[in-house]
Amino acid sequence: MLIQRPALKPEIIFLIVALVFGITFALITPMFQVNDEGDHYLKVTHLSQGQVFVKQSKVFITLYSPIPYLIPTLAFFIGKILGLSAVVIFYIGRLSNLFLYILIVFLAIKYTPILKWVFFALALMPMALYEAASLSSDGFNIAISFLLIAYILKLAFDDKIPKINKDQYLIVLVLGLMLALSKEIYVLSLLLFLIIPKQKFINRNFKYTRFFIIFVFSISAALLWGLLVKGLYVPMNFNINPQEQISFILTHLITFIWILIATISQNLLFYLTSFVGTFGWKDIGLDTSLSPFLVYLYILFVFFVALTDKIEVDMQLRKKLFSITLFLVSLVSIFILEYLTWTTVGNNLIDGVYGRYLIPIAPLLFLGFYNKQIPNFKGNNILVPCFIIIMLFISVFMIYHRFY
């Protein structure tokens, strides 16, 4: 008699694949060869020495809060106590960042009641894993954003949660605070809270009051931190002036919209490539990217998974449209932020935007393509891991070829 073994859950497969390829990425990528890793290393070094605030610096990361760096800072601190060499401490810091990323995303995939394989595919994109296996804060930003979105989806669609309790409010608040103190622009993802059915609250007013409290607390934390570090960053280019850029947007809104459209259309392939997989520093012209064919293939594959990964959850059209709108608002907000802080006055294109900045909000886009009416493809539990593993093998080869 044959005994059929139960299929591994997506979060378990993620754990295995992420550990194998994440550790490989962390170890074969030379020191400081991930975007801005030198600056992140400096930030962690300062924190491990007890320096939360430093003197004026031209390093933009000076403005970041310690939240995304707590675990690598602890790893650096312990490594120094043990007398380990600087190189060993560096790689231990990378691995600690990676393990934290894997743990948080594991919980996100476990918690989300829908599109588990979409979260799986996005979290294991070569770009996402490459950042997670470094000292960059991007991995933490991606993971916390995924967990916040997944937990809100759990509150919204899990039938085992008839009413939202105080502990669940607190979890959303803590995740919102962590996200706001990691990269404040992503706090807009908290608006997804509004898709939770009103039946799960005492009444409609109670729902909006609780959301308002959570959102205001998160925004306030980001603003407070901003006040604490105000003046610490000295722009490398003094032609960057946020006040003048704000004035330009308010007085030339149509022109700015055309600048936004022109920027996206001119750099679309770069944004898509740096969303899926770019290895090394573009800033110094030594980056190696996946081919456009593989980039398009990966993105189309995730859309396919979003359309075919189904369970018995009915997501109304208005909620799907709301999720897509929230993605678009967040996307435009990222471009506006880079226009204010990274683009010189008078420039006709927006500088400083990379595709990896869109990974934390990507689940919001794919949520809009969840369609219960399309038949479920039962082969996703085999097809998705196999496709991802092949893409990661290609990425390992490209990283090795790039550096060795």
Decide if 231 is inside a domain: yes
Decide if 371 is inside a domain: yes
Alpha helix (H) residue ranges in 242-367? 242-251, 253-276, 292-308, 317-342, 362-367
For 66, other C-beta atoms within 10 Å of its C-beta total 14
Task: Name the residue range of residue 150's domain.
Answer: 29-403
> Residue 139: what pLDDT?
96
> Residue 110: what pLDDT?
96
> Residue 316: what pLDDT?
87
* C-alpha span between 167 and 175 (Å, rounded): 12
Q: Structurally, how many domains does the chain consist of?
A: 1
* C-alpha span between 334 and 146 (Å, rounded): 17
Decide if 269 is inside a domain: yes
> Residue 2: what pLDDT?
42
Decide if 9 is inside a domain: no
Decide if 23 is inside a domain: no
> Residue 286: what pLDDT?
54
pLDDT digit string (tens) for 61-89? 778 899 999 999 999 999 999 999 999 99
Q: What is the pTM of this model?
A: 0.94
Our CA angle for 200, 365, 25, nearest 5°, is 110
Task: List average pLDDT for each run of 10 residues in the chain, which is 404 residues long.
Answer: 62 97 96 90 90 75 88 95 94 97 98 95 97 96 97 94 92 96 93 94 90 94 89 70 88 93 95 92 65 94 90 84 96 94 87 94 94 73 94 94 86
Decide if 18 is inside a domain: no
For residue 54, how many C-alpha atoms fall within 13 Å in the half-sphere facing its CB? 23
Decide if 160 is inside a domain: yes
Decide if 363 is inside a domain: yes
